[in-house]
Structures are given as structure tokens and as C-alpha cells.
Amino acid sequence: MQRIGDAPALRRLLIGAAVALSALFLLLPLVAIFAQAFSQGLATFWVNVSDTYTLAAIGLTLFITALTIPINLVFGVMLAWLVTRFTFPGRRLLQTLIDIPFAISPVVAGLVYLLLYGRNGWLGGWLDAHDIQLMFAWPGILMVTVFVTCPFVARELIPLMQAQGSREEEAAVTLGASGFTLFRRVTLPNIRWALLYGVILTNARAVGEFGAVSVVSGAIRGETNTLPLHVELLYQDYNTVGAFASAALLALIALFTLAAKAGLEWRAARREALA
């Protein structure tokens, strides 16, 4: 059956244009990251990556990410359970509110935290008096990272849990399952892949957040410098190869994210085909 755009010449033209433009604007930058990182050989790359300040930045980024994921995992599951399993006034509003981080520019997100918890902020004076420093220290970085990544898990779960409905869970309750058993044995097996994808997205963004973190971090080398901030610092110091060595590590995480997404989608498509 002839469909629109099936003529061989047009088809070739469109595929060619799509591939060429994607190669130029997406693939070339990706290749350039690794080309720059390894431009002075593997040994230099290794020296750059194992530099004390780079290792400290990697450590801080991993630490922040390791704390962000469980926080947003619990919040995402709770919120998805709440808005897909119950009706109550304000349900719609709650669903709209969790999109706030997507609407706010990262710099503005960092700023509002700084205004509240910084030395001149509403709570900052009290915190200062009690010798608690949140801004320009790791707790501030954690707070803004949680803020910018909090929609990801919930956004993956809500459509899926809505589509699946709650019949199986109601059946389990009728059969006497406790809340925890119900979640572990009935809900979790149904949502685990969406949950995993939400975590992967949270991870990618938590590792790579720049704008919000740069406002609240102070970027003290070895102390409050995350890996993306370290990339900026090295780049501004004209240490391009060093900057790209750290950038290559971040690009690897991005590639892992893309592969994981493709894998999960392939799995879902195959299950759909089998069903």
C-alpha cells in the first residue's frame, strides 16, 4: 500500500537529511568530547582524571547523587501512589506543582534557595546564629539537586500507574495483604521498569546539574566543587584537555543513560509484541 512519502527518491532524501543533520549537530559534539579528552594521549587523560581535585569533584558528585536518588525515589513513589490511587480535592493542583522544577530556570532555582537559606535570607539569620551553614556547602548542593530532579520518578510512574488501574491492588487488599506486602508483591513488579527509568533520569540530571548548583556552591576546589563545576573551572583556566577529561566522564554517564533507555524501550516493545 502506497503511503505518503513512500516514493524512493523522497524517502532517500529525507532519511539522508535527517542522518546528516543529526550527525552534524548531535554526533559530532559527542565525538569531539572524547577527541579532546584523549588529544594528548591516554596517559594525559589518566593524569587529568586522577588529579586530586578531579577525584574530590567526582566524590562529591557521587555523594550528592547517592543521597538525591533515594529521597526522590520515596517522594516519587508516594506522590504517584497518592494521585493515581485516591481522589481528593487538590489532586490536580498537586500534579501541576511537581512540574515547577521543569518550568524554572536552574539559575532562578539556585537563587530562591540562596535567598531563603543564605546569610541574608529569612531562615539564614537563624541558621547562622546556630552555626549551621547550608549554602556554599554540600547541604545546599543537595537541596537544589533534589529540587531540580524531583519530578522525574513521579512523572514516569504517574501515567503508568494510571493506565494500570488499581484492580490487582484492591484484590490483594481483599485477600488480606498488608500495605507493605501489597506494595512489594503487587505494585512494585508492575512499575519496576518505569521506576528504574525514573531513577536513571534522576541520576543523569543529578550528576550533571550546573546552573542551580553553581549559584549555591561557591565552587571551592576540593570542597564544594562538583564535577560539572570542575569542568567549568578547568575550562576557564584554559586547561581545555583537563576540562574535557572530566567532561568525558560525564558524557559516559550520558551514553549509559541513552543505552539504558533504549534497552528498557526495546524490552517494553518486545513484551507488547508477545502479549
Partner 1 sequence: MSQRAAGSRLALPFPGRTQRVLPGFGLSLGISLTFVSLVLLLPLTGLVGQLAGLSLGEYWAIISEARVVASYLITLGAAAVAALVNAAFGLLLAWVLVRYDFPGKRALDALMDLPFALPTAVAGITLATLYSSNGWMGQALAPLGLEVAYTWVGIALAMAFTSIPFVVRTVQPILEDLPHEIDEAAMTLGARDGVAFRRVILPHLWPALVTGTGLAFVRSLGEFGAVIFIAGNMPYETEITSLMIFVKLQEYDYVGASAIASVVLATSLALLLAINLWQGRFIRRLHGGN
Segment 49 to 88, residues that bind partner 1, using CB under 8 A: 74-75, 78-79, 81-82, 84-88
Question: Interface with partner 1 includes 193 (CB under 8 A)?
Answer: no
* From 43-51, 101-109, 125-133, 134-142, span contacting partner 1 (CB under 8 A): 101-109
With cell 539537586, the residue in question is 145
Q: Nearer to partner 1 by C-beta: 132 or 255?
A: 255
- From the list 47-55, 126-134, 170-178, 188-196, the region that binds partner 1 by CB under 8 A is 170-178
CB atoms under 10 Å from CB of 80, counted, come to 27
Q: Does 176 bind partner 1 (CB under 8 A)?
A: no
Considering just the CA atoms, what is the radius of gyration of the chain in Å?
Answer: 23
Residues 6+ apart with CB under 8 A from 118: 124, 135
- Are the beta carbons of 228 and 208 closer than 8 angstroms? yes
Q: Which of 57, 60, 142, 146 binds partner 1 (CB under 8 A)?
A: 146
Q: List all residues 6 or more positions away from 99 whose beta carbon is below 8 Å from its beta carbon.
A: 151
Binding of residue 220 to partner 1 (CB under 8 A) = no
Residue from 140, 198, 228, 242 binding partner 1 (CB under 8 A)? 228
- With contact defined as beta carbons under 8 Å apart, do 209 and 113 qualify? no
Task: Work out how close the CB of 229 gets to partner 1 at its nearest, in angstroms, rounded to a whole number.
Answer: 8
Site for partner 1 in 19-48 (CB under 8 A): 19, 21-22, 25-30, 32-33, 36
**Which of 186, 198, 188, 204 has the alpha carbon at shortest distance from 250?**
204
Of 58, 142, 245, 247, the residue at the interface with partner 1 (CB under 8 A) is 247
CA distance 160 to 43: 47
Asked if residue 10 binds partner 1 (CB under 8 A), the reply is: yes
- Which CB atom, from 47 or from 173, has the smaller least distance to partner 1? 173
Contact of 110 with 211, CB cutoff 8 Å: yes
Amino acid at 232: E
Q: Smallest distance from the beta carbon of 268 to partner 1, in angstroms?
A: 14
Q: Whole-angstrom Cα distance, residue 96 to residue 167?
A: 26
CB 233 within 8 A of CB 221: yes
CA distance 128 to 213: 21
Phi/psi at 89 (5° precision): -65, 135
Q: Does 269 bind partner 1 (CB under 8 A)?
A: no
CB 75 to partner 1: min, Å: 5
| Span from 47-55, 62-70, 120-128, 129-137 in contact with partner 1 (CB under 8 A) | 120-128
139 binds partner 1 (CB under 8 A): no
Q: How many residues bind partner 1 (CB under 8 A)?
A: 104
Task: Tell me how far apart the alpha carbons of residues 77 and 72 are, in angstroms, rounded to a whole number.
Answer: 8
Least spacing, CB of residue 46 vs partner 1, in Å = 19
Report the residue number, 29 or 41, with the smaller CB distance to partner 1: 29
* Residue 111 makes contact with partner 1 by CB under 8 A: yes
Least distance (Å) between residue 222 CB and partner 1: 19
